[in-house]
Structure 1
Amino acid sequence: MKTLIKDGWIVDPSQNLFGIYDILIEDEKISKVEKHIEIDGCKVVEASGYYVCPGLIDAHVHLREPGQEYKETIKTGAMAAVAGGFTSIVCMPNTTPVIDNEEVVQYVINKGKKAKCNIYTMGSITKSLEGLEKSPYMELVKAGIVGITDDGKTVMNTRVMYEAMMDAKALEIPVSAHCEDINLVYDRSINKGKMSEELNLEGVPALAEEVIIWRDIVLADITEAHLHIQHISTKKALEMVREAKKKGINVTCEVTPHHFSLTEDEIKSLGSNGKMSPPLRTIEDVEALIEGIFDGTIDIIATDHAPHSTEDKEKNLVDAANGIVGLETALGISLLELVHKRKMSIEKLIDKMSCTPAKLFKIPGGTLKEGSFADIILLDIEKEWIVDSNKFYSKSKNSPFHNRKLRGKAVTTIVRGEIQFCEI
């Protein structure tokens, strides 16, 4: 099977390729990228007026399967992914059972082969996410994981985290860390600050995140492991990462679209759809995060797509589940907030959402080079649309962006040479 993408404006930071080109896809791979390709007997995708980019890669997704299929499945999560322009996603191990053994890894990978996008998975740092005993990393790596994390929980035992980093260094896999000192978390509702005081809640202080980031940076310095900090959310945390990078410590970090576009002030209107971990912070934190995206301190943008049922979310701020869905809105939010409002280049955004995630987690993709897998999106950066969570492909609808007007959207998503989403 052959597909020809004609006359699109190529944006490929992986090879500094920008301009109008044709792309020929044969079977699953890109066979030619040239100014003009003439060939008969193939499907033609007219891309004039669109940006043609490497498919987005999300390094932080909760797919809930196995065990919590009422929230999301691998199938529905992948459908949401391609609708949002993601061709590869990495699922977190806090499933039921936990992804802490070869059998569950193989279950996810095999289920993923039938999904609309490429499915990768991490294994847990500790067995059953209990923070006490390391998972069998060698077994997990052989089964196909791309990293380890106890996301949703912090490994509070420093010895366990130290040994995990030592093992990860030897196995050449990253350690993705959810940084939150559980002993400094009060009622796990919202940010501890002026809004929590107004609502008479205890909240989660920035210190809870910052103290664990400091600890894990120290461990990364000693072990020389690759530490990847998940969903960074505070100004001081970012400053610590910036200084660590200057010292040559192997630390990277991600930010979510909700953390650089929303603040604690919006909790009143958002209710539990504005509750996540870490919580929405202050405007000062948001501005610092945006600065960190632009200056390179923040390496990638990831969604932390966290689907929950209506029952889980329709509770008060203390009792409601943490997290929001993000796969179908991440690109639109990023385009609006970073490209349209703050004049970030498309090249830089694609690097943060595709090329760099591929490098950090050693995932095929993030490029339009000849011979690479044909994971490609067509992007209309001017397309205006209204978020309607009721129409999400995700099983869950817990979004703070419902009814938000966005500007920019993936209009075609191609995975391994096959069109998996199209609205042109």
Structure 2
Amino acid sequence: MTSTEQRDRPILVKGADLLGEGATDVLVVDGAIAAVGADADQHAPTGTQTLDADGLVALPGLVDLHTHLREPGREDAETIETGSRAAAVGGYTAVFAMANTDPVTDTAEAAERVVDLGQRAGYVDVHPVGAVTKELAGAELAELGLMARSRARVRVFSDDGRCVHDARVMRRALEYVLAFDGVVSQHAQDPTLAGRTACCHEGELSGRLGLPGWPGVAEESIVARDVMLARHTGSRVHVAHASTAGTVEVLRWAKAQGIAVTAEVTPHHLMLTTDLLTTYDPVYKVNPPLRPAEDVAALRAALGDGTIDIVATDHAPHVRQDKEHAFTDAAFGMLGLEQALSVVSTTMVATGAMSWADVARVMSTGPAAIARLRDQGQGLVVGAPANLTLVDPTREVTVDAARSASLSRNNPWHGHTLTGAVHLTMLRGLVTARKGLTWGASDV
């Protein structure tokens, strides 16, 4: 059966626990949700295929606002196709590809190329994140308006990996994107406080290990500056990968003032702590760095109460020769797409801190709203595109990095046993992944 034939065939998802709020049926016809409810089967056309979803939680397809797909330039670490496969395995139906590629996504042509490669792969919708400044140099604004008006319809801009540290440039960027309801996603890190050799959180442990660190205030000071710039310009700012309790305090204050700020937290900052650095294992080298347990607790609480809006993976694949060095010399970053849902399930749902409806908000509808997506994150309602993720909430999975769909193996979850696993991913009626494998020529 070809992909086109499988998409064209109606599917009745039978007995799914919709957002964890009760079992129901979902009918998919011509790539859209045609009916929801106990009587959905009555609307099913002849030849409809039934998919038994008893015991599975149904969520709208996940959306990742922060993914590094490495193409163009570092196809040895990841390509748009392999990253899309990893995303589908993780329950995603849309991802945002960061701009720090080679060449940088700082023109309309480069942004459209990313869209075309994503469509060719076909596993998820791939949306480019446009650079804020040319060549990520932090000096001159990139083609923000041209990228926004292009076929790529760019609405999210970021120099991620490099903070837009010049306040004047950041102000101009916020003023510019206001015209087309864009958002600037900031990698908040003051370079004058971080230092060139810093590689982990600054604290007692970094001193004991002899590792140069940067303090939490390097992040917090930029977040504070940017929310004030957002208030001044009336524009939207998004805080990428928030990682400290101090950042949570700034966000809570800013939202109380009505400032248009949103924020994301990564799965690794929800679970992993700086104590892991005692192994000197470079898989745990990431930017922003892993933080102490008290920061992790603050991040979980902020995600639970809505101060932090969404979960984003910061999926950052690296080839072995870039990662397997002494800790201070290794590349920053870790994989995230395939285990993100399981980490959120383990840390937030299994602990009672969040419901599955909350998971849908922070991993689907929320990120889609921030990015102003038109056909993702609409929820499981009649007329919406059939972007669907089925989750087995009780299934325990022990992660094996060697089985990753990503080209890279810098997986911090290797050996971890997580509760809750993606069972099936559907993009506009096409099953793109099932039980850890991307969909091929077999039936559902």
TM-score range, shorter chain: over 0.9
Retained in 2: the 8 A contact 1:55–1:365? yes
Retained in 1: the 8 A contact 2:13–2:25? yes
- Aligned partner of 1:24 in structure 2 is 27
Q: Distance in 2 between matches of 1:44 and 1:118?
A: 25
Retained in 2: the 8 A contact 1:127–1:135? yes
- Aligned partner of 1:400 in structure 2 is 412
SS in 2 for 1:253: strand
Deviations 1:178-212 (A, max 9, x none): 00011111322110111110111221111111111
- Aligned partner of 1:350 in structure 2 is 360
With 37-46 and 286-295 compared, the bigger mean Cα shift is at 37-46
- Aligned partner of 1:382 in structure 2 is 394
Residue type at the aligned position of 2:365 = C
- Aligned partner of 2:308 in structure 1 is 298
Q: Distance in 1 between matches of 2:434 and 2:271?
A: 27
Matched, 1:35 2:38: yes
SS in 1 for 2:248: helix
Matched, 1:213 2:223: yes
Retained in 1: the 8 A contact 2:304–2:353? no
SS in 1 for 2:393: strand
Retained in 1: the 8 A contact 2:280–2:327? no
Q: Distance in 2 between matches of 1:360 and 1:270?
A: 37
Residue type at the aligned position of 1:246 = A
> How far 1:19 moved relative to its partner?
2.5
SS in 2 for 1:114: helix
- Aligned partner of 2:5 in structure 1 is none
Deviations 1:75-118 (A, max 9, x none): 00010001111111111000100000011111100111122111
Residue type at the aligned position of 1:9 = D
> How far 1:406 moved relative to its partner?
0.8
Q: Distance in 1 between matches of 2:354 and 2:92?
A: 20
SS in 1 for 2:19: strand
Alignment of structure 1 residues 220-369 onto 2, 5 Å: 220-269=230-279, 271-363=281-373, 364-366=375-377, 367-369=379-381
SS in 1 for 2:214: coil
Q: Distance in 2 between matches of 1:233 and 1:66?
A: 29
SS in 1 for 2:127: strand
Unaligned stretches of 5+ residues in structure 1: 13-17
> How far 1:343 moved relative to its partner?
4.3
> How far 1:324 moved relative to its partner?
0.3
SS in 2 for 1:164: helix
TM-score by length of 2: 0.92
- Aligned partner of 2:14 in structure 1 is 6
TM-score by length of 1: 0.97
> How far 1:419 moved relative to its partner?
0.5
With 365-374 and 62-71 compared, the bigger mean Cα shift is at 365-374
Retained in 1: the 8 A contact 2:155–2:181? no
Q: Distance in 2 between matches of 1:412 and 1:136?
A: 38
SS in 2 for 1:109: helix
Retained in 1: the 8 A contact 2:111–2:130? yes
Matched, 1:152 2:156: no
The runs of at least 4 consecutive aligned structure 1 residues that moved more than 6 Å come to none
Alignment of structure 1 residues 160-171 onto 2, 5 Å: 160-171=169-180
Matched, 1:66 2:69: no
- Aligned partner of 2:4 in structure 1 is none
Residue type at the aligned position of 2:70 = R
Retained in 1: the 8 A contact 2:82–2:407? yes
> How far 1:220 moved relative to its partner?
0.5
